[in-house]
Chain A
Amino acid sequence: MIVQRWRRPAWAGVFTFAVVFVAWYVLTTLTQTISPGRFPPPGEAWDALKQIAVTGYADARLSEHVLHSVKLVLLGFTAATVIGVPLGLAMGASRAFEAFVNPAFLLIRPIPPLAWIPLAIVWLGLGDAAKVLIIWFAAFVPAVINSYGGVRAIEPHLIEAARMLGVSRRMAVREVLIPGALPMIFTGLRLSLQACWTTLVAGELIGAIAGLGHVLYQASLDIFPAMIVVGMAAVAVTGALMTMLLGWLERRSMPWRT
């Protein structure tokens, strides 16, 4: 009975966090095996959290930083989804379209998103638009590749069956292509979302006025390990919440899989 209860993922998660927290406390506070200069004790991290949440740090409070970052991620992610998914579907569905687009895509694909930063600043200035563009680049590639792969992974007999039944092209896309590719599309979107957060932190290193990346940048300039931990935790929690939201959307979009 007890074994069964411990098998529940939620309990397992709580247990893992508890072990990590105790190890953190023991190593940094109780035994001081790790000095505060190298990794902050929980008490310092708590003080840093209070500072940024109440009085603010890096010119804003934590809630403002989180909202700013979420806004940038959502804009970049949405733009990447709106452009990347249809492009991937079209490439998967049409050999002719793929022949036109794929060479350019193959060239753009290996370029690291951060390499676009100088050009993004020249094109769009130091505002949020440049950061959204960089996030878009990061999210775009997984969105396209997985949508393309999703279409290619559809079993040919399903497409053949649709053709034999004489369904229209539009209906085939709506009833066969999209539902068949959806599992991989969502896999791509999850990867895209992760890429958005990774790139956001780098994008906000230059010329940001708020955001979690800006907090991490400022904390690194201040050599403030406790605030770095708070910034990282905020990125992790916000990113995880958005991934959970995407998971919920995935389950709603594919009721047949639950």
Chain B
Amino acid sequence: MKRHFVAIAAGIALTLTAQTSGAQTPIKISYQPAVYWALPFYVAAEKGWFGEVGLVPEFSTFPAGVPQIAASAAKSWDVGGVGSVPATLGAVRYNLLTIGITNDESYGNALVATAKTADAFMKNPASIKGQTIVLTANSTGDYAVQSCLAKWGLKKSDVTIKSMGQAEIISAMSSGNADLGGLWAPNTYTMEEKAGAKQICSGQDAGAAVPGALIVRADYAKEQPQNVAKFLAVYLRAWKWLNAHQAEGIAMMKKFYEQGGVSISDASLKKEFDTRPTYDLAGQLKIMQRPAGGASEVDGWFTKIGGFMQANGTFPEAPTASKFITDEYLRMVDADPTLKEFANRTN
């Protein structure tokens, strides 16, 4: 009863603060349609939670991470979510900061094989040598596939890699032009359900952590740190709510995915929840905490991703994780009792 009272009081306080200061500040949020980590944006917008902290979200969507981060150069957006590979690229090219983790998508990035070949490849992974793999180069899917190859003792040069977008990969595999593809969820489910394909190895199987990143333009973060903290609080609250109300969350997810042109079964939608861990405020702070002079868990993940991109020739030197990953804004949420309570609400 007391907890409820505190929650209601904090909610009223937040609303009043936003109203009295007249601060309905626009914030430009970027994401990709029909992906799991973007669901909190949809939920928060539907529930009106941005307005509760005085933010007016202006959403822009992009087909992939690269055009999304490229658009930051023109200040097309302020904050957003993206895969860890584009987040690292954005740090190097456009000084983007990673301010949180959307989810652990290690299971959702995988090497998928067609129905007729999957069992043979799973039985004898060495037979993948000499095969052609279609994937989106320099993506989290590429990272997961190359980690799988390394797990089986294969090198990139042992296979022929052809780069294309996710939609083209689905077309190529469905039409019999490719047997192996690097995909990420929910495309993995689309292939499984529509073409009987099988996931033969994920980033998780290969021991590669594939996180998703919450990002911000460095200049925006400097100018509007409070808005960045509020944005994080809204995002974290949406996950709290989704995890506490999974059935309702899946219904909203179905609608959200369909808006993005993806139609998959309820079982696959549930699988997204079951296989992709998310982090609440305490969890985020824990994985981003740096011991004195050391690296955080998240630093370690991104350092490996930077090494992968360097090996691909994307940049001559991998960026230092601590220079573009910061928990400063999560700590702002943690330090503000009202925002902290807001971020941890399950209702």
Contact = CB atoms under 8 A, between A and B. Distances in A.
Contacts of B172: 121, 126, 207
Given A55-B313, A56-B313, A121-B177, A221 B162 contact: no
B162 A207 contact: yes
Contacts, number: 63
Nearest to B309: A222
Closest CB pairs A-B (n = 10): A207-B162, A222-B314, A57-B313, A223-B93, A125-B177, A221-B138, A206-B164, A126-B177, A207-B164, A221-B66
B200 interface: no
A218 B66 contact: no
Interface in B289-330: 312-316
Contacts of A125: 177
A115 to B, nearest CB: 15
Contacts of A209: 160-162
Contacts of B313: 51, 55-58, 222
Nearest to A51: B313
Interface string B53-86: 0000000000000100110010000000000000
A217 B163 contact: yes
Interface string B156-183: 0000111110001001100101100000
17 contacts: A37-B93, A51-B313, A51-B316, A56-B313, A59-B161, A121-B172, A122-B175, A125-B177, A126-B132, A126-B134, A126-B172, A126-B177, A126-B178, A206-B164, A223-B89, A223-B93, A224-B314
B134 A207 contact: yes
Interface residues of B, number: 27
Nearest to B176: A125
Nearest to B85: A221
A112 interface: no
A55 B310 CA distance: 12
B137 interface: yes
A196 to B, nearest CB: 22
Contact of B69 (A38, A59, A223): A223
Secondary structure type dominating chain B contacts:
mixed
A222 B139 CA distance: 10
B42 interface: no
A247 interface: no
Interface in B236-258: none
B94 interface: yes
Contact of A118 (B70, B160, B171, B312): B171
A26 to B, nearest CB: 22
Contact of B168 (A56, A206, A223): A206
A125 B171 CA distance: 11
Interface in A25-58: 37-38, 47, 51, 55-58
B89 A222 contact: yes
Contacts of B164: 206-207
Interface in A193-233: 206-209, 214, 217-218, 220-224
Interface string A111-141: 0000000100110011000000000000000
B162 A126 contact: yes
Interface in B89-120: 89, 93-94
A84 B163 CA distance: 32
Nearest to A118: B171
B16 to A, nearest CB: 42
Contact of A221 (B137, B161, B177, B315): B137
B160 A220 contact: no
Query: Which of B70, B94, B134, B177 has the most chain A CB within a 10 Å cutoff?
Result: B177
Contacts of B312: 222
Contacts of B171: 118, 121
A220 B177 contact: no
Contacts of A222: 89, 138, 312-315
Contact of A223 (B70, B132, B160, B177): B70
Given A37-B94, A51-B316, A220-B66, 15 more contacts: A51-B313, A57-B313, A121-B172, A122-B175, A122-B177, A125-B177, A126-B132, A126-B134, A126-B172, A206-B164, A218-B138, A221-B66, A222-B89, A222-B314, A223-B89
A230 to B, nearest CB: 12
B185 to A, nearest CB: 20
A55 B171 CA distance: 33
A122 B174 CA distance: 10
Contacts of B168: 206-207
Contacts of A126: 132, 134, 162, 172, 177-178
